[in-house]
Structure 1
Amino acid sequence: MTLIIRNMVCDRCKRVVREELEKLGLVVDRVDLGEVDVANLPENVTLDDVRQTLQVNGFDLIDDKKHSLVEHMKVLLINEVQYLKGERLPTENYSAFLERKLGYEYSYLSGLFSAIEGQTLEKYIIALKIEKVKEWLRYDELTLSEIAWRLNYSSVQHLSNQFRQVTGLTPGQFRKATQVERRSLDRI
C-alpha cells in the first residue's frame, strides 16, 4: 500500500515519517519524498490514526487521486531542481519531463496543478529555482554565471531579472543582505 504524504520534502522528513509510522506498528518498506510504501495496516490501526500521527508532525495524508498527482508533480520537481544529481539540470524541458514521468499531457497536468495549488506550474518551477539560487548565493561559493549555467538559464541577465521579479532584490543585494529569509520547500 502506497501512502502519499504532503510536506515530506527532505531526508529529515523521511526519517520522521518512517519513525512515526513504525511507532504505530506499520511495516515500512520504502520511504521516498512524498511517498511511503507500507504493508497492510494492522487491524488496530486505521487511516485516521495514520492521518492524525502525520498531522501532529506537520504532514498531510492525501487520499484523493488528483491531489496525489499534484503532490507527485511537486516531488518530481523538487528532486529535479533542489537535489541536482550532477553539475547541471538536464536540458529536457519541464513539460516533457512531467509528461514522461507521469504519463499525462502537460496541458492536463498544468491545469490540474493550477486548480489545486492556486498558482501556475511555471510559477512553482520558477519559485523552486529561485530558492536554489538563494541557497547558492548564501553559500557564496558559485558565481552568478555558474548558478545560471547549472539551472539552465539562457543568461545571467535572465536569471537576475527573474530573481528580482520574485524577490524584489537583485542577486547582489540578496547576497549582501543579512535579514532575508529563504522559504522552505513545502511553503512554495
Structure 2
Amino acid sequence: MKLAIKNMVCDRCIKVVRDELEALGLTVEEIELGAVQVSGKLSVEKSKEVKQRLQANGFDLLEDLRLVLVENIKKFIIDEVQHLKGKKPASMNFSNYLSEKCGYEYSYISHLFSSMTGQTIERYVISQKIEKVKEWLSYGELTLSEIAWRLDYSSAAHLGNQFKKETGQTPGEYKKNALLARKTLDRV
C-alpha cells in the first residue's frame, strides 16, 4: 500500500518516517520524499495509529488526491533546487518539467497549487532557491556567481536583486549577519 505523506523534505524526514512505521510493525518496502510503500493493506485502526505517529513528528498522512499532487509538486521542486538531484534537462523550462513529471497541464497544476497553498509555484521555487542561497552563503565556499550558475540564474546581479527583494538584505549583508536566519524546508 502506498502512503502519501506531507512535510517530508529531507533525508532525516525519511529516517524518522521509516523508524515510526517500523515501530508500528509495518514493513517499509520503499520510501522517498513524500511517499512510502508498505506491505499489505492498513486496517482502519492501524491507519489511525500511523496518522497519530506521523502527526506527532510534524508529518501528515494525505488522503485527498489534490493534496497528494501538491505535495508531489513540492517534492519535484525540492529535489531540483535543494537536493540538486532533479532530472530537468537544462533546455527545458520549469513549467514544462513539472507538467511532464505530474502528468497534467501546467495551467491546472499552477491553479491547484495556488489554491491549496496560497502561493504560486513560481513564488515557491524562488523561496526554495533563496533558502539554498542562504545555505551556500553560510558555508562561504562558493562565490555569488557560482551560486547563480548552479541555480540557473542569468547572472549574479539577477540573483542578488532577487535575494534583496526576498530577504531585505544583499547577499553580502546576509553573509556578514551573525544570525543566519534560514528556514526549514517545510516552512518555506
Give me the TM-score of the superposition, normalised by structure 1: 0.94
Residue 130 of structure 2 aligns with which residue? 130
Alignment of 1:1-188 (within 5 A): 1-41=1-41, 43=43, 45-85=45-85, 90-188=90-188
SS of the aligned residue for 2:114 comes to helix
Q: State the percentage of identical aligned residues.
A: 56
Moved more, 63-72 or 37-46: 37-46
Q: Is the 8 A contact 2:164 2:170 kept in 1?
A: yes
Q: Is the 8 A contact 2:138 2:180 kept in 1?
A: no
Q: Quote the offset at 1:47 in angstroms.
A: 1.4
SS of the aligned residue for 1:46 comes to helix
Aligned residues: 187
Gaps of 5+ in 2: none
Q: Quote the offset at 1:182 in angstroms.
A: 0.2
Q: Quote the offset at 1:45 in angstroms.
A: 4.3
Distance in 1 of aligned mates of 2:55 and 2:90: 35
Q: Quote the offset at 1:91 in angstroms.
A: 4.3
Q: Quote the offset at 1:41 in angstroms.
A: 3.6
Distance in 1 of aligned mates of 2:177 and 2:89: 27
Moved more, 34-43 or 15-24: 34-43
Cα RMSD of the aligned pairs, angstroms, is: 1.7
SS of the aligned residue for 2:154 comes to coil
Q: Is the 8 A contact 1:25 1:42 kept in 2?
A: no
Q: Is the 8 A contact 1:89 1:151 kept in 2?
A: no
SS of the aligned residue for 2:159 comes to helix
Q: Is the 8 A contact 2:21 2:28 kept in 1?
A: yes
Moved more, 173-182 or 35-44: 35-44
- What amino acid is aligned across from residue 153 of structure 2 in structure 1? Y
Moved more, 168-177 or 40-49: 40-49
Instruction: Label 1:93 to 1:25 Cα distance change in 2 as closer, same or farther (>3 A).
Output: same
- What amino acid is aligned across from residue 121 of structure 2 in structure 1? L
1:37-87: per-residue Cα shift (whole Å, max 9, x none)?
Answer: 01124558431111001001111111000000000000111001111149x
Q: Quote the offset at 1:92 in angstroms.
A: 2.1
Instruction: Label 1:91 to 1:134 Cα distance change in 2 as closer, same or farther (>3 A).
Output: farther
Give me the TM-score of the superposition, normalised by structure 2: 0.94
